[in-house]
């Protein structure tokens, strides 16, 4: 039923199941996910955080790419035992700190965490455990030109996924 959302009730007799499958149609939802180059004058920062277990051993990573898609900088680190949400926020915090310290501006920060995106862009209330990090991100954002966007995990840069998996 999970893989075939058109099934509302699974028959218990084999013959009925075969007939249902032969007569039915599958409703597949296909989403095209692509990595897009940043516009001229902007850098694209893909961020990701991961946790084995929740909480569990965690890591974050981010990478910056220019308009040609060339890697400008990448960073990843093991951050010990924490939650996936903390790892996702730490990736953005560290990316923003790096950009501020290097004097980089016009940054598009992409995250695969829809919750973090909605906290940063739509004003959702942050969880108490990440409140201070969210405040720091917003303070840095106010001093720079930064845009946040949500991207599906499959659209995050392959290099970033590779680096965070190596750490874990």
- The first and second tokens of residue 77, run together, are 């680190």
- SS3 state of residue 43: strand
* CB 44, CB 38: distance < 8 Å: yes
pTM: 0.76
Tell me, yes or no, whether 81 and 7 share the same domain: no
Q: Is 35 exposed, middle or buried (0-12, 13-18, 19+ CB in 10 A)?
A: middle
**Number of structural domains found in the chain:** 2
Tell me, yes or no, whether 75 and 104 share the same domain: yes
pLDDT in tens, 88-117: 999 999 999 999 999 999 999 999 999 999
Structural domain boundaries, residue 9: 1-30
């Amino acid at each position: 039923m999970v893989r075939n959302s058109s099934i509302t009730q699974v028959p218990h007799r084999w013959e009925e199941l075969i007939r249902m499958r032969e007569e039915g149609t599958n409703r597949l939802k296909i989403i095209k996910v692509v990595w897009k180059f940043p516009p001229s004058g902007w850098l694209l920062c893909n961020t990701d955080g991961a946790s084995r277990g929740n909480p569990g051993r965690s890591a974050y990573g981010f990478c910056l790419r220019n308009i040609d898609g060339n890697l400008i900088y990448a960073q990843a680190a093991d951050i010990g035992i924490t939650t996936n949400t903390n790892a996702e926020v730490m990736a953005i915090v560290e990316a923003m700190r790096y950009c501020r310290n290097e004097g980089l501006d016009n940054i598009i920060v992409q995250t695969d965490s829809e919750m973090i995106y909605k906290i940063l862009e739509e004003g959702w209330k942050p969880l108490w455990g990440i409140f201070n990090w969210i405040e720091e991100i917003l303070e840095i954002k106010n001093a720079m030109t930064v845009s946040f966007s949500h991207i599906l995990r499959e659209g995050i840069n392959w290099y970033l996924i590779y680096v965070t998996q190596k750490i874990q």
